[in-house]
Amino acid sequence: MSHVDQAKSDDLYGLGTEPTPNASTYVKPQDMEWQDTRFEGIQIKVLYQNEEKGEMTCMLKWAPGATLPFHRHPELEQSYVIEGSFQDHDGICKAGEYVWRTAGSKHETYSAEGCVILAVYRKPNLFRSGPAY
């Protein structure tokens, strides 16, 4: 039995053997401009966004001393620090480290030295002044 024939016989989910054409979207953050957010000292590059679902993957650039005001995460939030560090009441996340926060969690975040992070949101954060990323 050939490799393709074996794959067809083991195909429990009807996957087939052909990749989906044009299903990958390649993004080049290095070619994108940083955009200001409504939060002083924090800029953004949106890599993926589905406004209907509230999903977003982005890079955030924090100036030294920048603070993201007190907010709640309606869903899981994930952050990977590329450069620098940022922190909250639970600890500090440094370059090369990853932190995730549970749905419903609340905090304020701060970066003493500045940082660049990759953030993945399932829903926008909820601030006293309204939703935002």
pLDDT at 58: 98
Q: Is 32 among the domain residues?
A: yes
Provide mean pLDDT across the span 51-64.
97
Q: Give the number of other CB atoms < 10 A from CB of residue 36.
A: 10
Q: How confident is the model at residue 104 (pLDDT cuts 50, 70, 90)?
A: very high
Phi then psi for 30, rounded to 5 degrees? -65, -20
Q: Is 19 among the domain residues?
A: no
Task: Find tokens 């549970």 and name the residue.
Answer: 102
What percentage of the chain reaches a pLDDT higher than 90?
82
Q: How confident is the model at residue 129 (pLDDT cuts 50, 70, 90)?
A: confident
What percentage of the chain reaches a pLDDT higher than 70?
92
pLDDT in tens, 29-52: 999 999 999 999 999 999 999 999
pTM over 0.85: yes
Q: Is 6 among the domain residues?
A: no
Q: Give the CATH number of the domain where residue 102 resides.
A: 2.60.120.10
Domains held by the chain: number: 1
Provide mean pLDDT across the span 89-102.
98
Q: What is the DSSP letter of 62?
A: E
CA gap 131, 127 in Å, rounded:
6
Domain that holds residue 74: 25-132
3-state helix vs strand vs coil in the chain, percent to 5: 10, 50, 45
Q: Is 4 among the domain residues?
A: no
CA gap 89, 101 in Å, rounded:
12
Q: Is 88 among the domain residues?
A: yes
With residue 7 as reference, give the H or E element that holds it.
Answer: helix 3-9
